[in-house]
Amino acid sequence: MDRHTTLVTGATQGLGRGIALDLAARGHAVLLHGRDRARLDAVAAEVREHAPGAPVRTYLADLADLDQVRALAAEIAAAEPRLDGLVNNAVAGGGAEPLRREFSAQGHELRFAVNHLAPYALVRALLPLLTASAPARVVNVASIGQEAVDFDDVMLEDGYEGLRAYCRSKLAMIMATFELAVELEGTGVTVNALHPAHLMDTEGVRAYGLDPLVGVDEGVRPTVRLLVDPELGGTTGRYFDQYTDARAHEQAYDTGARARLMELTHRLLGLRRGSEGCARTGRSGANRVPTIQ
């Protein structure tokens, strides 16, 4: 049986590390992404010790820089013969100084850049490899914390607060999930989003000053389920609250808002709308509504 290969972003700590350990124990080839070489190598050594038979490879990139996101995708596409799964887990949380606006290398608000623009850009760049490896699954780690995107102030210049920016960026991620799922219908690539668990014991939760309520394992299990459960092989365009097929913020079902978000996203990323997945599948699909329960 061919060994599944899964890329996990933000794999050097917290949920990403837990997902990598779980997948390696199942025999997956695990591609670990991180932005710090020492931490990346340390987690790779830990995963190899935990699951000696599982191949482990590392990829270094700062997802706050879109040039590095593109370079990461190009490196993976050149080195990996297949990609069966992608977990977009890397995150910029509310921050230790939530009233201080931070920016990406391209000058975008940091949380919007890392939590929405970077994972979307990564998926689009890796679509040729994902579709060639189909069936393949993309899992976007979102959050139950969601706030409507204000298209008059997308980067939250007015009334900035880190957690608000985080909640907006996670809703943007969910909206992009729904759009991609429609676009990729029939390719064998599924795209889903989930809230893994509430207030896990992670560095981001603690940095913002919140008290963790549950361990990381509570989020690992529902995330890995979306990657490996045979019964979910055809499930796409869904938002899950852990194991429950749930309903996201109402803006996620507003096709006009989704279209505006995607037009902005493609413009910020320098992408031509419909030039990748739609071209291969022969589907436009931009205004179709995915089946969401």
81: preceding bond cis by omega (within 30 degrees): no
Lowest model confidence (mean pLDDT) among 136-145, 171-180, 198-207: 198-207
- Mapped onto helix, strand or coil, the DSSP state of residue 188 is coil
Confidence of residue 252 (pLDDT cuts 50, 70, 90): very high
What is the average pLDDT score of the chain? 90
Of 31, 8, 28, the C-alpha closest to 138 is 8
Start-to-end CA span in the chain (Å): 34
Task: Indicate if 166 belongs to the active site.
Answer: yes
pLDDT tens by residue, 43-68: 999 999 999 999 999 999 999 999 99
Rounded Cα gap, residues 61 and 157, in angstroms? 27
Is the Cβ–Cβ distance between 228 and 206 less than 8 Å?
no
pTM of this prediction? 0.90
User: In the block, which residue shows the tokens 């679509």?
Assistant: 127
List, as own/partner pairs, every contact residues 44-47 make where C-beta atoms lie below 8 angstroms and the sequence separation is at least 24, other chains included.
46/17, 46/21, 47/20, 47/21
pLDDT tens by residue, 176-234: 999 999 999 999 999 999 999 876 667 776 676 767 677 788 999 999 999 999 999 99
- Residue 42 phi/psi, 5° resolution? -65, -45
pLDDT for residue 63: 98
Alpha helices by DSSP H, listed for the chain, are: 14-25, 37-50, 66-79, 110-112, 118-132, 162-183, 203-207, 217-228, 255-269, 277-281
**What domains appear along the chain, each with residue ranges and CATH number?**
5-269 (3.40.50.720)
Lowest model confidence (mean pLDDT) among 9-18, 122-131, 228-237, 278-287: 278-287
pLDDT for residue 201: 64
Is the Cβ–Cβ distance between 116 and 179 less than 8 Å?
no
Which residue in the list 59, 120, 160, 166 is annotated as catalytic?
166
The token pair at 186 is 């029939």
